[in-house]
Amino acid sequence: MKNKSPEKSRNLLQTKAQRWIIKIGSSLLTDDGRGLDREAIRTWVKQIVALRRSGVEVILVSSGSVSAGVQRLGWSQRPANLKERQAAASVGQSALIHTYEKLLREEDIPEEVPVHCGQVLLTHDDLRSRRRYLNARSALLTLLEMNVLPIINENDTVSYNAINLGDNDTLAAVVSNLLDADLLVILTDQDGIFDADPRSNPNAKLLAEVNAGAAMLERVAGSGGSGVGTGGMLAKVRAATRAARSGTSTIIANGRCEDVLLRIRHGEALGTFIHARLPKLDARKRWLAGHLRARGVLHLDAGAVLALKQEGGSLLPVGVTALEGNFHRGDLVLCKDPEGHEFARGLVNWDATVALRCLGKKSRDIADDPDVAEGILIHRDNLLIH
């Protein structure tokens, strides 16, 4: 029997990672939310160019569009109204990309590193479609091949609560899954994850290394944010767990540390390193995990839960006791055990009206129903067990 190969150390993962997703929060790009901080962005451009020179592929997830729009429109504060935020995002996106592009061109850049940036705006609807998901992957990989710096943001101008991704931490994790990234670096205005709230507990200690999915992580992360962006530490922890599904480790570090990206590249132990020690999903299951908006819920009996977990089969209607939601064929639904805990999710083969009349029935009892596809409610290829 072969010995297990030793797990890679943090230092090795940092120095050898070749494809980085870097997420920079609003507080690190703007003047307290009042507009873009050009000099701050210049420092990020310099570090990204240096990373490219060292052979790292960089994909940037950049916040700041709404703040940039607020500045250009002459408003005194970030609007609370959705339509005004969307307008600000539209105006701000052009300002944000123009700033990055101009600063890139000011750098003394050799041919093998990017001299241009490419804007990619995404929504959850773009990623829930398998075809559009693969098209996004192809476009991003092509940009990398052309030595272009992809700059990704949520398409805030057309997003709304039913389809948005929610925050750029989540977006960065989804992009990590999309591109099989080696490392996700989430830069914030905090030093990392602590074992208690450092704002109220002076004895709180920084967690230098933890494993993705560790039970204590969400408990200690809390839900506070800086007030400038939309994601708090809890969103970052959940993003790290999501990224781990593609084998991507995560670093949550303070972006106010001088040359933070280069110091990470050189192996310095900054912030909190979250090891991707979760079972790695195949490409289709990663796409499925990236679905953030469920259209319904299926409640299963204990026998069905056991069969799905242990036997890895498809979900049949005989094990379903109740359903929620007006979902349609191809929609994502959650699967819950008798205690109400979600343990799986998948794409349904039937509309809710069909599923409702087939609840608890065996496949042979519905074989003549023209609306029933092979007697299977969710095929195992479209089912993700947590």
280 and 205 inside one domain: yes
Residues 6+ away with beta carbon under 8 Å from 210: 193, 217, 272, 273, 274, 275
Rounded-to-integer distance, Cα 64 and Cα 187, Å: 13
- pLDDT bin (cut points 50, 70, 90) of residue 200 is confident
Is 23 known as a binding-site position?
yes
Q: Do both 304 and 262 map to the same domain? A: no
Are 258 and 298 members of one domain?
A: no
Q: Are residues 280 and 346 in the same domain?
A: no
Domain range for 344 is 294-385
Domain containing residue 304: CATH number: 2.30.130.10
pLDDT digits 0-9 by tens, 35-91: 888 999 999 999 999 999 899 999 999 988 888 888 889 888 888 888 888 888 889
Confidence of residue 3 (pLDDT cuts 50, 70, 90): very low
Question: Which residue has better confidence, 229 or 92?
Answer: 92
Q: Is 63 annotated as a binding residue?
A: yes
Is 197 assigned a ligand-binding role in the annotation?
no
Q: How many distinct structural domains can be found in the chain? A: 2
pLDDT of 305 over the 90 cut: yes
Please report whether residue 4 resides in a domain.
no
236 carries a ligand binding annotation: no
pLDDT tens readout for residues 274-301: 999 777 777 777 777 766 678 899 999 9
pLDDT in tens, 122-147: 877 777 778 888 899 999 999 999 98
User: Is the domain of 260 the same as that of 359?
Assistant: no
Tokens of 68: 């940039």
Digit-coded pLDDT (tens) for 241-276: 989 988 999 999 999 999 999 999 999 999 999 999
Instruction: Check pLDDT > 60 for residue 229.
Output: no
H/E stretch holding 121 reads strand 117-122
Question: 147 a known binding residue?
Answer: no
| Whether residues 164 and 210 fall in one domain | yes
Token pair listed for 64 = 């700041």
Give residue-wise pLDDT tens across range 141-183.
999 999 899 999 887 666 554 334 457 898 899 899 999 999 9
pTM: 0.80
- Across residues 91-116, what is the average pLDDT? 82
Q: What percent of the chain has pLDDT over 70?
A: 89
Answer yes or no: is 47 within a domain: yes
- The CA radius of gyration of the chain, in Å to the nearest whole number, is 22
Task: Determine the Cα–Cα distance for residues 165 and 38; give it in Å rounded to an integer.
Answer: 27
Q: Which residues contact 351 (CB under 8 A, 6 or more apart)?
A: 327, 328, 329, 371
User: Per the annotation, does 182 bind a ligand?
Assistant: no
CATH code of the domain containing 74: 3.40.1160.10
User: Does residue 2 form part of some domain?
Assistant: no
Which band of pLDDT confidence, cut at 50, 70 and 90, is reported for residue 202?
confident
263, 286, 309: which is the final residue of a domain? 286
